[in-house]
Amino acid sequence: MRNQKAYLDCLQRPQAQMLWREALTRCGYFADLPSETVIISESLGRVTACSVYAKQSVPHYNGSAMDGIAVFAPDTFGAQETEPIRLQLLSPDTPFAPGGCYVVDTGDPLPAGTNAVIMVEDVHFVDGSAEIIAAAAPWQHVRIIGEDIVANELVIAEHQRIAPVDMAALLAAGLEEVDVIQKPKVAIIPTGDEIVATRAELRAGTILDVNSPMLAAAVTAWGGDPHRHPIVRDRREAIKQAISSSLECNDMVIVNAGTSAGRDDFTSDVLADLGEVLVHGVAIKPGKPVILALCKGKPVIGLPGYPVSAMLTAELFVRDILLARQKLPPAETIEIEATMTKQVASTMGVEEYVRVSVGNVQGKMVAALLSRGAGLLSSLTKAQGMIRIDSIQSGLAAGSTVPVQMLRKSRPEQTILAVGSHDLALELLGIFLRRRLEHVSLTCANVGSMGGIMAIRNNEAHIAGVHMLDEQTGRYNVSFVNKYLPNMTGSLVHFATREQGLMVLPGNPKGIHDLNDLMRPDVSYINRQRGSGTRMLLDYELQKSGISFGQIAGYEKEVGTHMAVAASVAAGTTDAGLGVRASARALGLDFIPVAKEQYDLLLNFSPDDERLQVIIEILQSEEFRREVESLGGYELGNAGEIVSLVAEV
């Protein structure tokens, strides 16, 4: 059970990468590259297989570089303002005679016998002759043959990526085709009994194969030519057959997944049969159960099944190999320094990669942790950066400055970090902002109202959505802001009045009418997390009605957003949950109103920040109001008004 053992003795990532690279170098994987011939107009971005030499000189003839007259330079010597020289104008078909000249346009071939051109501006034409008042230096204003490229000279060196100007140079140098390195063919084999290819086959317990298109696109982006194999069931022989046949006509094979050591995980055993398993298991999170193998001199990579793990391990163990195979330099990542807003715990001995949002808040670049689950695609689509927590670290302290590898074309200077209470309308604000300010993006982290206030206090966010009821005053937000943000430089502005209520299945099958029904033994509830405004509202309303928490089945089950509550109810997993009307409407649920609340925004920008003004303008606009109110349960009558904090004190 060699592989089993290898899996237990996880390698560290840098060692695994080194071993991988060395093994592939040793077997000649980066040396012996198949090439193909393409016509030059289709060679953009391809890599030359060998050095390309000019077949003809550029220019291919001596030509005039100006409009003017072509002369024999010695005939002009001595000409000056006081002693002009007259040259006889010859017609193009007349052979050259001393003292003669020809009219030429730019690009015209230099007539035999002449060796210089005088610009038309410097010529005075009189009576069939050309009068000049300055001598011409030999070869002046002549583009001589080979001035740009000489026949047989190197045009483009081998292993160079062809750019548009290279194409022009190759064509000018007389080439019509060019030998380029073949795009590496990469087979992608999805495996698993639970994987299905189409939405039609989807049911509880099956998973759509989203990894294959994702990996195929990544391979394309890295210059490879992906070949997607049909889904293979968890049968040892079937997997072996798929890998074996894919090795025939591909330069690399990716198997996804079956890479753990579970009872249906055959990938490692199959690869040991077909070749040599170099690495099984790397001390990284996510992505530990990765397999690196060499079969028939080709790399076979087993990637784990969770999408985030699959993508991360592909970046670590596929990307640079694929680029090197095309003689392209490794991918460059842009790294910036940012301050962690929250502490991140991590296991010693394991290198962990966490996804973050990054933005500049009041001059400080901050990184806010996104969800860490290996299955959470949304954490990748929302991520702007990735932080690598070294295996010798036990985590990152809140407030520590760490290097962040920026993803895609992230523009942290243009990112607005919104935190606090989750609200659908906040996402709409982001979309409106992007329409007004190009390339600005808004990312929402749902940490509840109290979390939002704390983030503003620590300058860790630009916007916080808050809806906190002060039981004493019966008013929302103001007293909390005064208490926790006594020195706030930003402002609190009205966003919307929202309806909160119980979401239940359509038709209300359990007959739930108010909070009292939550005490019924046949009714299960799903709660929001502590610190969220909705949780505070529930607790306040329960107290008013004299209901104790212990009487509610499911009170302890917490989720982070209105939509997660709605989704749980819609799936029939729970019978009721408190949330805004818009969430109920989004999933087609019935809604039993409980209370109206004021949802406001804390804005934390420098007073001269363009974005502040634009946000206020959007909030006050008729268009935004209409779009938010159409979500249901919102009233935006006073949206964009600045809430007076002084009057409250």
CB of 84 to a copy of itself, least distance (A): 23
Return the number of the residue (264 or 470) whose C-beta is nearest a copy of itself: 264
C-alpha–C-alpha distance, residues 339 and 395, integer Å: 14
Strands 576-580 and 525-528: parallel
Residue with tokens 């080439």: 175
CB of 263 to a copy of itself, least distance (A): 9
> Contact between 62 and a copy of itself (CB under 8 A)?
yes
CB of 572 to a copy of itself, least distance (A): 9
Restricted to residues 160-179, the positions that interact with a copy of itself (CB under 8 A) are 161, 163-169, 171-172, 174, 176
Q: Which stretch binds a copy of itself (CB under 8 A): 179-187, 283-291, 369-377, 449-457?
A: 369-377
Tell the burial category of 165 from Cβ atoms under 10 Å away from its Cβ (0-12, 13-18, 19+). exposed
Return the number of the residue (492 or 526) whose C-beta is nearest a copy of itself: 526
> Contact between 202 and a copy of itself (CB under 8 A)?
yes
C-alpha–C-alpha distance, residues 284 and 331, integer Å: 20
DSSP string covering 436-448: HSTT-EEEE---H
CB of 642 to a copy of itself, least distance (A): 28
Residue 99 is which amino acid? G
Strands 491-504 and 590-603: antiparallel
> Contact between 262 and a copy of itself (CB under 8 A)?
yes
Return the number of the residue (156 or 344) whose C-beta is nearest a copy of itself: 156
Show the tokens assigned to 23.
Answer: 């093994």
Nearest to 251 by CA among 181, 177, 180, 328: 181
C-alpha–C-alpha distance, residues 186 and 255, integer Å: 11
Restricted to residues 427-466, the positions that interact with a copy of itself (CB under 8 A) are 427, 430-431, 434-435, 438-439, 441
> Contact between 81 and a copy of itself (CB under 8 A)?
no
> Contact between 331 and a copy of itself (CB under 8 A)?
no
Contact map string, positions 31 to 60, toward a copy of itself, x by CB under 8 A: ---------xx--xx-----x-----xxxx
Q: Which stretch binds a copy of itself (CB under 8 A): 179-187, 197-205, 282-290, 343-351?
A: 197-205
Quick one: which of 91, 93, 204, 237 contacts a copy of itself (CB under 8 A)? 204
Q: Which stretch binds a copy of itself (CB under 8 A): 284-292, 387-395, 510-518, 558-566?
A: 558-566
CB of 261 to a copy of itself, least distance (A): 11
Any alpha helices (H) in 222-374, and if so which ranges? 236-249, 267-274, 307-314, 320-325
Instruction: List Cβ<8 Å contacts ≥24 apart for 581-586.
Output: 581/498, 581/499, 581/500, 581/501, 581/632, 581/633, 581/634, 582/424, 582/425, 582/498, 582/631, 582/632, 582/633, 582/634, 583/424, 583/503, 584/501, 584/503, 584/632, 585/631, 585/632, 585/633, 586/424, 586/631
C-alpha–C-alpha distance, residues 456 and 362, integer Å: 10
> Contact between 373 and a copy of itself (CB under 8 A)?
yes
Nearest to 259 by CA among 219, 287, 299, 285: 287
Show the tokens assigned to 556.
Answer: 């302890």
Quick one: which of 411, 436, 510, 520 contacts a copy of itself (CB under 8 A)? 411
Quick one: which of 1, 61, 77, 296 contacts a copy of itself (CB under 8 A)? 61
> Contact between 95 and a copy of itself (CB under 8 A)?
no
CB of 341 to a copy of itself, least distance (A): 22
Q: Print the SS3 string covering 10-34.
A: CECHHHHHHHHHHHHHHCCCCCCCC
> Contact between 307 and a copy of itself (CB under 8 A)?
yes
Residue 517 is which amino acid? D
CB of 591 to a copy of itself, least distance (A): 15
- Assign residue 159 a region: left if phi > 0, alpha if psi is -120 to 50, beta otherwise? left
Quick one: which of 153, 514, 610, 623 contacts a copy of itself (CB under 8 A)? 153
> Contact between 205 and a copy of itself (CB under 8 A)?
yes
Return the number of the residue (192 or 420) whose C-beta is nearest a copy of itself: 192
CB of 40 to a copy of itself, least distance (A): 7
Return the number of the residue (316 or 469) whose C-beta is nearest a copy of itself: 316
Strands 334-340 and 364-369: parallel
SS3 state of residue 583 = helix
> Contact between 265 and a copy of itself (CB under 8 A)?
no
Restricted to residues 486-545, the positions that interact with a copy of itself (CB under 8 A) are none
